[in-house]
Amino acid sequence: MIQRFLIMSLVLIIGLTILPSSQAQTPPSLQSAISSGQVSARFFGTGGSSGDSVMVEVSKGPKAPSGPLTVSVPPGSKLASGDAGAQSMIIIGVTGRSTGGNSYVPTGDILVPATGSSRYILNAFCAEFEKDNPSTSTTFSLRPADTTTACIAQQSTKAGLSIEATQAAIWIHTDRISYEHMNEKFDISRADWDRAVRVAAACGVSQR
């Protein structure tokens, strides 16, 4: 009995020790770091409309602590377009740190360097079906995710949706588009459409 009690006590102590440590390692969001003056960020299009379609250039802000700073981008965060005719975007996640051209180092978070700046590629999807695709001159401002966009971003990643299906799930939420209407502008198979509908429905979105 004494040996069993000691083992259970040790497990409990280890669990209590590990839990706060893992929670403390969660990076602050990029939006909160921008709002607090710790990070400066510039968002702009890459010329694409879905997938790796947005770049962010980050550097330390006037209130940043010393050394590099790691920040996260919550799935479903919105990029409000600075161009009234171009679509805003929904961020699914960070693809990686750009190393120039089409090359990048995969990562899920953003490391703001102690000096200078770095560019990161964002996996983002258009959020206003009837507007034009963002161009390389389109700039954005970061907004927080709402419950639905966060759910769609997380579920589309979990389900391994294709670019087409992920884009459809977002437009089903933002524009209540139909399969036929989407294919007028963006080709998608019936199978991918059905997967998108299931993800949207799991997040409380119907087409009506």
For 63-93, the pLDDT digits (tens) are 999 999 999 999 999 999 999 999 999 999 9
Whether residue 191 has pLDDT greater than 80 = yes
Lowest mean pLDDT: which of 13-17, 98-102, 180-184, 204-208?
Answer: 13-17
For residues 159 and 185, state if they share a domain: yes
Residue 21 lies in a domain: no
Residue 2 lies in a domain: no
* Domain that residue 122 falls in: 31-145
Residue range 29-60, pLDDT digits in tens: 999 999 999 999 999 998 888 999 999 999 99
Total Cβ atoms within 10 A of residue 24: 7
Predicted TM-score (pTM) of this structure = 0.85
Reduced DSSP (H G I as helix, E B as strand, rest coil) percent helix, strand, coil of the chain, to 5 = 35, 30, 35
| Phi, psi of 36, deg, nearest 5 | -85, -5
State how far Cα 38 lies from the chain centre. Answer: 20
DSSP bridge pairs for 45: 54
For residues 135 and 39, state if they share a domain: yes
For residues 105 and 192, state if they share a domain: no
Select from 133, 121, 164 the least CA-distant residue to 48.
133
For residues 48 and 137, state if they share a domain: yes
Express as a percent the part of the chain with pLDDT over 90.
80
Single out the residue in 96, 126, 145 at which a domain terminates.
Answer: 145
For residues 138 and 53, state if they share a domain: yes
Q: Which helix (H) or strand (E) holds 92?
A: strand 89-100
What secondary structure, in 3-state letters, does 15-74 show?
HHHHHHHHHHCCCCEHHHHHHCCCEEEEEEECCCCEEEEEEEEEEECCCCCCCCEEEECC
For residues 184 and 91, state if they share a domain: no
For residues 156 and 205, state if they share a domain: yes
Measured at the alpha carbon of residue 117, what is the angle toward residues 116 and 122, in degrees to the nearest 5? 170
Reported as a pLDDT band with limits 50, 70 and 90, residue 24 is low
Q: Is beta strand 78-81 parallel, antiparallel or unpaired with respect to 139-143?
A: antiparallel
For residues 134 and 184, state if they share a domain: no
Q: What is the DSSP letter of 86?
A: B
With beta carbons less than 8 A apart as the criterion, state whether 80 and 44 touch. no
Residue 203 lies in a domain: yes
For residues 161 and 186, state if they share a domain: yes
The total of structural domains in the chain comes to 2
